[in-house]
């Protein structure tokens, strides 16, 4: 009884700690290998002032994999880094690491070591006159929580943003807090960039973070990408060149430099940079996906120049690029099985290569996913509808998925594409005198959703007249 009572008492104390074990990080099991790869890449290749938190996160991932001895090694590395990275704040910055130590030791059944680390946390809380025995309340802790949430994927971004905002309320000019807040805002903007007219909030935040952290190349390349989003690519390239001049972080940030050039249409230059980055970080799902997009872009460029009907050497080049893209998308999904956009790109490449059943199966995998955000869902229904319309010759299924995409009411670029696709499909059917009543009704819906009320009414009236002609009342 006494041992059980001790265990319960210790557990009650542990849940008060602020650390990776109590922050409710949302990490799916299938995401674990990719998360671990990204953490290891950052530790090895990103020249950052904020490495303590990433070692703590690695320890947590190791624990989740059942590797508690390795978790302890990562925590010891974090503890060593605190002395060099956080001079003058070592006690406060150590609280998260001590909390993680306590939890790992608890899972190993080493209660004396648990208590030793709880005592360290308690002493620090007393030293800084905290109200709680084991819970440290200060902006540095909010910042640590924000970094952990940020690294664990999109489901955690809103909470990460709230953590950095809370820290900035206390210290608005803190370089680290501003960096974390700007990166989080950029990631959230990227989620919402599909929304037509969405400007986002990260541009001025990234500018401020760069001014406070002029040596941070990672933030610079994100600022460059955001400037590109806003149509200010020339200014963005200035930061890209500055990032390339910084040798220490080049291996890590080069992937974002390459993304900048890919989006600009400089596909050959982007491919060269992506492949350079891949040599150092071969397990990056992001890199494999981006390389696949470069091959896909080159394929589209050749097809467009040949009026979508390449022959001879052009046909051979297209076929080779499709196979290269397929390989990269498949590799990305092996490394990150939850990579929704990679599934969509892979499905389209299967269709391009004539493997329609593989394309269908791949689309179905992503259609069954339950964690996709609205913007990706809308894009998925548009691209699957296109597959049904042009590869399966199934207008009914195409219309079904176009309409499903329209049910997501946010006015995005994908929604605009769906409206245009429906309009073209309906007009083709009318011109061919196929299902004319339904086609005029669809055309009326398109005009209505575009705000073209008078055109919508004309189409609906025509549909009603035709329906009456086809079904006269006796």
Residue partners of 190: CB distance under 8 A and separation at least 6 = none
Q: Which two tokens stand for residue 409?
A: 């009411």
Taken in order 175, 188, 190, 36, the sign of the CA dihedral is: positive
Token pair recorded at residue 371: 């964690």
Topology adopted by domain 139-213? 1.25.40
Q: Comparing C-alpha atoms, which of 263, 261, 198, 186 is closest to residue 226?
A: 186
Q: Please, what is the Cα angle at 439 between 436 and 440, to 5 degrees?
A: 90
C-alpha–C-alpha distance, residues 440 and 443, integer Å: 5
Q: How far is 160 from 289, CA to CA, in rounded Å?
A: 26
- Assign domain 1-137 one CATH number from 1.20.1260.10, 1.25.40.10, 3.40.50.300, 2.40.10.480: 1.25.40.10
In the chain, what are the domain boundaries? 1-137, 139-213, 373-474
* Residue found under tokens 């624990």: 63
pLDDT computed for residue 472 by the predictor: 62
Residues 466, 430: contact at Cβ < 8 Å? no
Q: How many CB atoms lie within 10 A of CB 331?
A: 20
* Structure token pair of residue 436: 């004319």
d(CA 150, CA 20): 12
Are the C-beta atoms of 59 and 74 separated by less than 8 Å?
A: yes
Residue 216 Ramachandran class (φ > 0 left, ψ -120 to 50 alpha, else beta): beta
pLDDT the model gives residue 1? 39
Buried b (16+ CB within 10 A) or exposed e, 301-315: eebeeeeeebeeeee
Domain 139-213 identical in fold to domain 373-474? yes
Predicted pLDDT at 251? 79
For residue 44, the model assigns a pLDDT of 86
Q: Enumerate residues 6+ apart whose C-beta is below 8 A from 186.
A: 200, 202, 205, 206, 222, 225, 226
| Cα gap 17→443, rounded to integer Å | 59
Cβ neighbour number for residue 64 with a 10 Å cutoff: 16
pLDDT tens, N- to C-terminus, the chain (474 residues): 356 667 788 999 999 999 999 999 999 888 899 999 999 998 888 877 778 899 999 999 999 999 999 999 999 999 998 887 666 666 888 999 999 999 999 999 999 999 999 999 999 999 987 778 999 999 999 999 999 999 998 889 999 999 999 999 999 999 999 999 999 999 999 876 655 555 568 999 999 999 999 989 999 999 999 999 999 999 999 999 998 887 666 778 999 999 999 999 999 999 999 999 999 999 999 999 999 999 999 999 999 999 999 999 999 999 999 999 999 999 999 999 999 999 999 999 999 999 999 999 999 999 999 888 888 999 999 999 999 999 999 999 999 999 999 998 877 788 999 999 999 999 999 999 999 999 999 999 999 999 999 999 999 999 999 988 876 653
Write out the DSSP string of 222-270: HHHHHHHHTT-HHHHHHHHHHHHH-STTHHHHHHHHHHHHHHHT-HHHH
According to CATH, what is the number of the domain 373-474? 1.25.40.10
3-state secondary structure of 15: coil
Tell me the C-alpha to C-alpha distance, in Å, between residue 264 and each of 236, 321, 351, 454. Answer: 11, 20, 26, 40
pTM of the model: 0.89
For position 249, what pLDDT does the model report? 65
């Amino acid at each position: 009884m006494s041992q059980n009572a001790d265990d319960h008492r210790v557990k009650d104390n542990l849940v008060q700690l602020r650390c990776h074990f109590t922050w409710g990080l949302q990490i799916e099991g299938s995401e674990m290998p990719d998360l671990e790869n990204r953490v290891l890449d950052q530790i090895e290749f990103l020249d950052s002032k904020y490495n303590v938190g990433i070692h703590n996160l690695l320890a947590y991932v190791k624990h989740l994999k059942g590797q508690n001895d390795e978790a302890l090694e990562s925590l010891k590395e974090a503890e060593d880094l605190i002395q060099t990275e956080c001079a003058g704040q070592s006690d406060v910055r150590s609280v998260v690491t001590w909390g993680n130590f306590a939890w790992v030791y608890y899972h190993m059944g080493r209660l004396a070591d648990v208590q030793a680390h709880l005592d360290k946390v308690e002493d620090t809380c007393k030293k800084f006159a905290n109200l709680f025995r084991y819970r440290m309340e200060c902006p540095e802790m909010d910042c640590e929580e924000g970094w952990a949430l940020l690294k664990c994927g999109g489901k955690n971004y809103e909470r990460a943003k709230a953590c950095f905002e809370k820290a900035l309320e206390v210290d608005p000019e803190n370089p680290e807090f501003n960096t974390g807040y700007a990166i989080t805002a950029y990631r959230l903007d990227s989620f919402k960039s599909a929304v037509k007219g969405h400007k986002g909030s990260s541009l001025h935040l990234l500018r401020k973070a760069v001014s406070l952290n002029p040596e941070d190349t990672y933030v610079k390349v994100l600022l460059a990408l955001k400037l590109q989003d806003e149509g200010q690519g020339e200014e963005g390239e200035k930061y890209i060149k500055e990032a390339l001049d910084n040798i220490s972080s080049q291996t890590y940030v080069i992937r974002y430099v390459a993304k900048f050039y890919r989006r600009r249409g400089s596909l050959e230059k982007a491919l060269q940079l992506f492949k350079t980055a891949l040599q150092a970080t071969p397990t990056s799902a992001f890199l494999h996906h981006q390389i696949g997009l470069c091959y896909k872009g080159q394929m589209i460029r050749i097809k467009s120049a040949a009026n979508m009907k390449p022959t001879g050497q052009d046909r051979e080049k297209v076929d080779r690029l499709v196979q290269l893209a397929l390989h990269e998308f498949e590799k990305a999904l092996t490394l990150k099985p939850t990579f929704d956009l990679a599934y969509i790109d892979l499905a389209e490449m299967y269709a391009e290569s004539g493997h329609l059943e593989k394309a269908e199966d791949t689309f179905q995998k992503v259609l069954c996913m339950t964690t996709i955000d609205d913007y990706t869902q809308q894009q998925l229904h548009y691209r699957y509808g296109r597959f049904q319309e042009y590869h399966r010759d199934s207008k009914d299924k195409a219309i079904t998925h176009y309409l499903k995409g329209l049910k997501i009411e946010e006015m995005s670029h994908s929604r605009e594409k769906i409206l245009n696709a429906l309009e073209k499909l309906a007009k083709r059917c009318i011109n061919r005198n196929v299902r004319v009543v339904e086609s005029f009704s669809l055309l009326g819906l398109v005009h209505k959703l575009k705000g073209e009320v008078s055109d919508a009414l004309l189409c609906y009236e025509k549909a009603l007249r035709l329906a009456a002609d086809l079904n006269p009342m006796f």
